[in-house]
């Protein structure tokens, strides 16, 4: 089937199998490999992107389900060589080690702060509870 998805403001149209997951559409079809694929069981959160501003696990979303919606990936955070404040903050506070979980962490955190610019520690912990970091970058 032909699927057209708006990703980071650009319409990407491809012929794919109806069962194609959003994470594969983004990585393999659109070539945006910043979104990671870690578990395929909806546990790790490395695959989180934003759909209409909401953080969503793209490994458990069919690409076809996102037609007519706005998908935003980690590639959209940096603009004209300037890091998003979330990226800058992760960098400055060493909130990552290997970086595998980081795309999902960034997109989840960006969505949290877009909705709630001044979250409590508890709200932050709840927001990133769907993200698993194997390097224990949570604290920072
Ligand atoms: Fe989607 Fe792990 S790859 S939650
Ligand atoms: Fe390595 Fe999180 S920084 S998995």
C-alpha of residue 45 to centroid of ligand 1, in Å:
5
Nearest to 8 by CA among 105, 84, 62, 115: 84
What tens digit of pLDDT does each residue of 61-110 get? 999 999 999 999 999 999 999 999 999 999 999 898 999 999 999 999 99
Ligand nearest, relative to CA of residue 60: 1
Query: Are 16 and 29 a contacting pair, CB within 8 Å?
Result: yes
What tens digit of pLDDT does each residue of 26-44 get? 999 999 999 999 997 999 9
Q: How far apart are CA 113 and CA 48, in angstroms?
A: 15
Q: Could you tell me how many residues make up the chain?
A: 140
User: What pLDDT score does 14 carry?
Assistant: 96
C-alpha of residue 33 to centroid of ligand 2, in Å:
16
User: What pLDDT score does 139 carry?
Assistant: 76
User: What pLDDT score does 140 carry?
Assistant: 75
Q: Is 44 in the pocket of ligand 1 (CB under 6 A)?
A: yes
- What lines the ligand 2 site, CB under 6 Å? 96-102, 133-135, 137
pTM of the complete model: 0.95
């Amino acid at each position: 089937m032909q699927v057209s998805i708006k990703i980071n403001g650009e319409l990407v149209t491809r012929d794919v199998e109806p069962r194609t997951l959003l994470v594969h559409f983004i990585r393999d079809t659109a070539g945006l490999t910043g979104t990671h694929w870690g578990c395929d069981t909806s546990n790790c959160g490395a695959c989180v992107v934003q759909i209409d501003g909401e953080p969503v696990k793209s490994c458990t979303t069919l690409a076809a389900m996102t037609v007519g919606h706005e998908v935003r990936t980690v590639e959209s955070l940096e603009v004209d060589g300037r890091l998003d404040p979330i990226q800058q903050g992760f960098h400055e506070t060493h909130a990552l080690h290997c970086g595998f979980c980081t795309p999902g962490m960034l997109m989840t955190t960006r969505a949290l702060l877009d909705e709630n610019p001044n979250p409590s520690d508890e709200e932050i912990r709840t927001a990133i509870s769907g993200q698993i970091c194997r390097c224990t970058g949570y604290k920072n």
